[in-house]
Amino acid sequence: MLTIVWDVDDVLNNLMHSWFSAVWKPQNKKSILEFSGITENPPHKLLGIAKREYLESLDAFRLSKDAGDMKPNPEILRWFAKHGKKYNHIALTARPAKTIPPSAEWVFRYFGAWIRTFAFVPSKRENGSLREHFKTKKEYLDWFGKADIFVDDSPENIRAAKSLGIKTVLIPQPWNNSKLTLKELLDLLNDMCRKI
């Protein structure tokens, strides 16, 4: 049975869009930046703030009720309902350790019928004291050694997985160069699964 490794934020959910709508826009009413204009991740330069300020705001949102109430990406949830039982699934996220418990709960609440393993690599934050077994998703995937397909929104993570010989799917977001729609990519994922 094939193993598909899924990023969580901005793949299974719409974290950045939710943060932008619930936090950034209400606090910056004069900003003309729209979500479609977030062509970099992290977007602190586009927002005109320090990276630390952006990360603190995003991390606070990750711990909020609004983040806990986020709905899953509907197209991906439909894909899981139709195809999920055919494969093994792992969630692999990069977040600060303090934000992992609500993320894991969210994943298992919505995707627990298919995703049985949740893994993370700690995002770098000041004063982090967690011992780092893996510093990157690439290190985790290399250690794990069983991923057939990796699904992520980060071009950097996609390149890293490809360098390990893993098939990849880049989920479209304004900050990446994915040329396909989400529907087209999920169809591509089905094709990849049939060919492996």
Among 68, 90, 108, give the residue marking a domain's end: 68
Q: Are residues 100 and 37 in the same domain?
A: no
Rounded percentage of the chain residues whose pLDDT exceeds 90: 92
Mean pLDDT of 86-110: 96
Going 67 to 71 to 72 to 74, the CA torsion angle's sign is negative
Report pLDDT digits (tens) over 29-74. 999 999 999 999 999 999 999 999 999 999 999 999 999 999 999 9
pLDDT digits (tens, 9 = 90+) for 162-196: 999 999 999 999 999 999 999 999 999 999 999 98
> Which of 45, 68, 91 is the last residue in one of the domains?
68
Range of the domain at 44: 16-68
Residues 23 and 36 in one domain: yes
Domain end residue (candidates: 68, 90, 111)? 68
**Residues 162, 138 within the same domain:** yes
* Number of domains present in the structure of the chain: 2
User: Within this chain, do residues 138 and 175 fall inside the same structural domain, yes or no?
Assistant: yes
Q: pLDDT band for 104, please (50, 70, 90 cuts).
A: very high
pLDDT band at 151 (very low <50, low <70, confident <90, very high): very high
